[in-house]
Amino acid sequence: MPSYTVTVATGSQWFAGTDDYVYLSLEGTAGCSERHLLDKPFYNDFERGAVDSYDVTVEEDLGEIQLIKIEKRKYWYQDDWYLKYITVKTPVGDYLEFPCYRWITDEKEIVLRDGRAKLPRDDKTQILKQHRRKELETRQKMYRWKEWHPGFPLSIDAHSHSELPRDIQFDNEKGIDFILNYSKAMENLYVNRFMHMFQSSWSDFADFERIFVRISNTISEYVMQHWKEDFMFGYQFLNGCNPVLIRRCTEIPKKLPVTMDMVECSLERNLTLEEEVKQGNIFIVDYELLDGVDANKTDPCTIQYLAAPICLLYKNLENKIVPIAIQLGQKPGPDNPIFLPSDATYDWLLAKIWVRSSDFHIHQTVTHLLRTHLVSEVFSIAMFRQLPAVHPLFKLLVPHMRFTIAINTKAREQLICECGLFDKANATGGGGHVQMVQKAMKDLTYSSLCFPEEIKAKGMDSKEDIPYYYYRDDGIKVWEAIKSFAEDVIHIYYESDEVVCEDVELQAFVKDIYVYGMRGVKASGFPKTIRTREKLAEYLTVIIFTTSAQHAAVNFGQYDWCSWIPNAPPTMRRPPPTEKGTVTIEQIVESLPDRGRSCWHLGAVWALSQFQDNELFLGMYPDEHFVEKPVKEAMAKFRKNLDEIVNAITERNKNKKLPYYYLSPDRIPNSVAV
């Protein structure tokens, strides 16, 4: 009688093993086996991290094995099991791999196909077509769209992390408990001793050092020492944790009535302001989105304020970007003066602090929350709903969706919900952050997620004109490496544009993102269909880049740039100044966050800047969803390209006081998971 050797690999994460009964059935082109109990006498099967082998004897040859069915039945109590993969050695010596990488919960069963990626057109038999269809039907019931707030991209239909499908939950929920992590961070940073003084102000700038953790030679310490300098202020627009707002100014807007007399002493080329604009030396950052957003009113004891400044910047003869004019409101007038470097020291300093505070709000809510977290969740839900596990694009994308839905669900549960942690320290808490996302949706376009296109649209693409824009330089390299990898994989499975058009699952995936993620807004520019391999490569690059590199660029620098509170105040407790010559150091300190909010802020930026335990970085694919040699060769080429980028960035950063490493591939997690 024919005998098959079945090898079963159990996951190595906590509680991956099981004591339940596990049964296996083989289904081939010539017949099906009976259900076999996988059990060895006097042996503890399916322990965490174990690889166990079993002989399965059948009465007659089954032909080519197409499916295997795994059933789990309770032994003593419900015991979830994480199955990595199964391999089957056939009677003729062939090896078949069946990737799983899923949890089997309760008394459930799963049916696996072998690991060779297949498009819908590749399935010829009814049994394979039916398996494909049934998997998607099941997933679409589990992964449902839901509107969290009007105007938001749709998110997962789950009120809490525990309601999510087991496969996308964190292995250890405590590890992503925001309340626990923030409290732990404050304890580790020794700032919890200030929490009882929640409403009290700091005495002066030096007083902030009492909660500032100095770690030798880090960016955060350099920021503390140099934050008042115009160079440091301008540098952050290029290489801080929100390097996405600055654009070349082609015309001074009417709402910012800057004159030559105002800025003449800041210009170094003996040109007029108009000539400097024409030569491309003037840049602008406009926080118009904050205009009309309600400030946090959740604490009646502390009135909090927001502003919507406009900041004009200049590229000096050293090619450094420095501020030359700041207006703190959108409407010009006598009570909305334009602050200048030539003004009194504290006038200019407070104006810059207001810009930094506004930048913090845009960064947290738009750059970080909307444009990486919420967008990545849209990609994740659409993938699970429309791409079966056997589809090559599912295999390509699934590592980049790891824990994204889980972290966002946890955030809605604890962080950005009503009365959540976001309300404790941020002036945009209490609903302002919701208004901001709703307003920012109009600028969330497909082209704005295409990294090179967005850089060019802002006039920031010239390395000669703007030589120190490392976010741009490193981002372009990573984008190109990802795109090259996506093209390699596409050409393995899609032999022509016609095959792309015929892939009904791909088209359903793209449509789901457009209809539900982007709410069917035509102006978003998101495609409804994809018809060429070239466009598909770009589309996949947008997804992978957003979920990995873009998130890394705007997330992991938060402690570096925001831990020195005066450089990134999460709230302001005095309104913006309406006249010049009246600002004092006391007024500035009274405007900055109180002790309690400063501590919450510090705990938050520390916790958000930490990598996950056992983090998987870009190009690391330990779960072998792909089994084909050409794809593994493409992965090896991808890793080689990424290693070259790491080496180039490491070399550039040598001896730099302000190294830029957020887009170094060895520091880019595969997915949005924090």
pLDDT at 175 over 70: no
Q: What is the DSSP string of 535-573?
A: HHHHHHHHHHHIIIIIHHHHHTTHHHHHSSGGGS-S-BS
Contact in structure between 323 and 234 (CB atoms under 8 Å): yes
Report pLDDT for 604.
83
Q: What angle do CA 601, 607, 613 make, to 5 degrees?
A: 180
Residue 32: CA atoms inside 13 Å, Cβ hemisphere, count? Answer: 10
pLDDT at 524 over 70: yes
Report pLDDT for 598.
83
* pLDDT band, residue 600 (cuts 50/70/90): confident
pLDDT at 72 over 60: yes
Report pLDDT for 174.
47
pLDDT at 75 over 90: no
Contact in structure between 475 and 451 (CB atoms under 8 Å): yes
Alpha helices in 211-272 (DSSP H): 219-226, 230-239, 260-263
The mean pLDDT value for 572-597 works out to 93
pLDDT digits (tens, 9 = 90+) for 455-470: 999 999 999 999 999 9
Range with the poorest average pLDDT among 196-205, 257-266, 534-543: 196-205
pLDDT at 189 over 60: no
Q: Which two tokens stand for residue 253?
A: 């807007």
The C-alpha atoms of residue 104 and residue 250 are separated, in whole angstroms, by 58
pLDDT digits (tens, 9 = 90+) for 130-153: 999 999 999 999 999 999 999 999
* pLDDT band, residue 644 (cuts 50/70/90): very high
pLDDT digits (tens, 9 = 90+) for 208-250: 666 556 555 589 999 999 999 999 999 999 999 999 999 999 9
Nearest CA-CA partner of 408 in 370, 437, 445:
370
Report pLDDT for 420.
80
The mean pLDDT value for 540-569 works out to 96
pLDDT at 502 over 90: yes
pLDDT at 207 over 90: no
The C-alpha atoms of residue 327 and residue 257 are separated, in whole angstroms, by 9
Conformational region of residue 612, where left means phi above 0, alpha means psi within -120 to 50, and beta covers everything else: beta
- Kindly report the average pLDDT of the chain as a whole number: 93
Range with the poorest average pLDDT among 113-127, 184-198, 298-312, 337-351: 184-198
Q: Are strands 3-10 and 51-57 parallel, antiparallel or unpaired?
A: antiparallel
Walk across the sheet containing 95-104 and list its strands: 51-57, 3-10, 81-89, 95-104
Report pLDDT for 605.
86
Report pLDDT for 196.
47
Report pLDDT for 198.
46
pLDDT at 187 over 70: no
Cα Rg, the chain, nearest whole Å:
28
The C-alpha atoms of residue 463 and residue 219 are separated, in whole angstroms, by 24
pLDDT at 631 over 50: yes
pLDDT digits (tens, 9 = 90+) for 372-416: 999 999 999 999 999 999 999 999 999 999 999 999 999 999 888
pLDDT at 115 over 90: yes
Beta bridge partners of 65: 28
pTM: 0.95
Q: What share of the chain is helix, strand, coil (3-state, %, to 5)?
A: 45, 15, 40
What is the 3-state secondary structure of 151-179? Answer: CCCCEECCCCHHHCCHHHCCCCHHHHCHH
* pLDDT band, residue 1 (cuts 50/70/90): confident
Under DSSP, the state recorded for 533 is: H
Beta bridge partners of 617: 669
Report pLDDT for 632.
98
The C-alpha atoms of residue 14 and residue 12 are separated, in whole angstroms, by 7
Residues 6+ apart with CB under 8 A from 636: none
Report pLDDT for 14.
87
* pLDDT band, residue 88 (cuts 50/70/90): very high
C-alpha dist (Å) from residue 57 to 36, 51, 466: 9, 20, 69
As to burial, measured by CB atoms within 10 angstroms (0-12 exposed, 13-18 middle, 19+ buried), residue 453 is middle
* pLDDT band, residue 184 (cuts 50/70/90): low
The C-alpha atoms of residue 673 and residue 520 are separated, in whole angstroms, by 27
Contact in structure between 526 and 514 (CB atoms under 8 Å): yes
Report pLDDT for 179.
57
